[in-house]
Chains A and B, each alone.
Chain A
Amino acid sequence: MLWAEGLRHAFNEGRVVALDDVSFNLAAGQTLAIFGPNGAGKTTLLKVLAGLIRPQAGSARVAGGRRAIGWIGHQSQLYGHLSVRENLLFWASLYGVPRAERGARATDVLARLGMTDRAEQPVWSLSRGLVQRAAIAKALIHEPRVLLLDEPFTGLDLGAAAELRALLAALRGAGRALVLTTHNVDEGAELATDVAFQLRGRFVQYAPRAGRGSAEIAEAYRRAVAGTNG
């Protein structure tokens, strides 16, 4: 469903390496959790997968192209002066959802995220947590087969983060492929079917989770970071 082969990318005329020979593939129902410190190149990787950045070497492909991608990132990508529903209808239209289905899709996704009573509120009037939920609704409105999640738990309280984890688990169960980046192992480990540690642009470890718990993955991550820094 998602293939990346030999991705390389650097900024500042090659001085800052963001991607260094990154390769992986992901099938339906799999979740790749990528852990790495700030500046490791996680966001660059997601932007390459989404087609926002053209890599300097290698290639990435998503089955179904842009239409199959849903994106949840640091920023909501929503228009503050439009209501939540207006935003969803706009993005549904851009993704080619048939006009007759847009309203029902928006109603459905808002209900799944517990935002039915906020549908007509302008985005600027929502709290950070609610904006993040609206951003998730936006990412799901066209029923993408691949979800790219860049630090999706940032700014969420414990309850909202748990709800988001449950939602993502349900999406994975429904056959979506998820790529999740975070610097917090506890947040992402339990969702993952595959785990990668990205340091200075490189996947220093990439393996199936294979029953490892959060604590075990966190310990392996700490060792990897210490090894790279040392």
Chain B
Amino acid sequence: MGELLRQTWTIARKDLLLEFRSRTAIVSAVVFTALVLTVFNFGRDPTAVSALDLAPSILWVTFTFAAMLGLNRAFQLELENQAIEGLLISPLDRRSLYWGKLLANLRSFVAVVEAVGLPLFVLFFNVPVGHVLLPLLAVMALATLGFVAVGTLFSAMVVRTRFAELMLPVLLLPFLLLPLTYAVQATARLLADRPLSEVAGWLRLLAAYDIVFLAVASWLFPYTVDE
């Protein structure tokens, strides 16, 4: 177990260092988030549908597609100079590779995309979130974990295929429908000032999705990377 954790951290640390140096995925995901929120802000008719009704869907659709950009990059950086072969020849436990990539994706996505996206969302849609910030952060954390758990697996599956950037959304989006629905429902209730008891059920569903897909993805991952 200690070796698994040590290798996981080695992979995550390397990925974060590479992302910090190149800034490829983070910059593109942040710019994408800002642009999509801006487009939605100017592209809606505020007299037809209230911001409160639209906001949860817009927030989560934006985060979902921004996540695709980051997830696409997760294994592509291993194709540079065929580093992936070096990883597979080494005594690295395949599960460590999965968990290391997952950690790095979470860090990139949560720390940057959502940290930038949420304030922009509040600014553009004039939706106060201060009073529900903690439960909203819980929804974001659980939904993001589910997205990244499945996305990291599919990112590894498609990386050596042709048209990987097209394949990832096609394969991944059907699996994100459930957490996306749960997250939108929970966010809508939070923004509408509904009692927390109405949100708890959605949070439990998100947590259940995370547990199931973390376990399944961790189990399946070695089969996706070995030839």
Q: A73 to B77, alpha carbons, bound, how many Å?
A: 18
Are B82 and A73 in contact (CB-based, < 8 A)? Answer: yes
Are B85 and A81 in contact (CB-based, < 8 A)? Answer: no
Are B21 and A77 in contact (CB-based, < 8 A)? Answer: no
Chain B residue nearest in CB terms to A68: B91
Q: A198 to B121, alpha carbons, bound, how many Å?
A: 63
Determine the chain B residues whose CB is within 8 A of the CB of A95 once the complex forms.
90-91
| Given A52-B227, A71-B89, A94-B87, CB of A79 within 8 Å of CB of B77 | yes
Check B44 for interface membership: any CB of A closer than 8 A.
Answer: no
Q: Give which listed residue, A66, A80, A138, contacts B91 with CB less than 8 A.
A: A66
Total cross-chain contacts (CB, 8 A): 70
Are A82 and B81 in contact (CB-based, < 8 A)? Answer: no
Determine the chain B residues whose CB is within 8 A of the CB of A79 once the complex forms.
14, 18, 77, 80-81, 83
Output the residue of B22, B80, B92 with the most chain A CB within 10 A. Answer: B80
Determine the chain B residues whose CB is within 8 A of the CB of A84 once the complex forms.
none
Are A77 and B85 in contact (CB-based, < 8 A)? Answer: yes
User: How many of chain A's residues have a CB under 8 angstroms from any CB in B?
Assistant: 31
Check B28 for interface membership: any CB of A closer than 8 A.
Answer: no
| Given A53-B227, A54-B227, A93-B10, CB of A66 within 8 Å of CB of B81 | no
Are A77 and B227 in contact (CB-based, < 8 A)? Answer: no
Main secondary structure of the interface of B (DSSP, over half): helix
| Given A86-B17, A93-B10, A94-B10, CB of A78 within 8 Å of CB of B83 | yes
B92 CB → nearest A CB, Å: 5
Q: A76 to B90, alpha carbons, bound, how many Å?
A: 14
Are A81 and B21 in contact (CB-based, < 8 A)? Answer: yes
Q: A114 to B82, alpha carbons, bound, how many Å?
A: 24
Given A69-B89, A82-B14, A96-B91; 14 other pairs, CB 8 A cutoff:
A51-B88, A51-B89, A66-B91, A77-B82, A77-B85, A79-B81, A81-B18, A81-B22, A82-B18, A90-B14, A91-B86, A94-B10, A94-B90, A94-B91
Q: Could you list some 15 contacts between A and B, CB below 8 A?
A: A51-B88, A52-B85, A52-B89, A69-B89, A71-B85, A71-B86, A73-B85, A75-B82, A77-B86, A79-B83, A80-B80, A82-B14, A91-B86, A93-B7, A93-B10
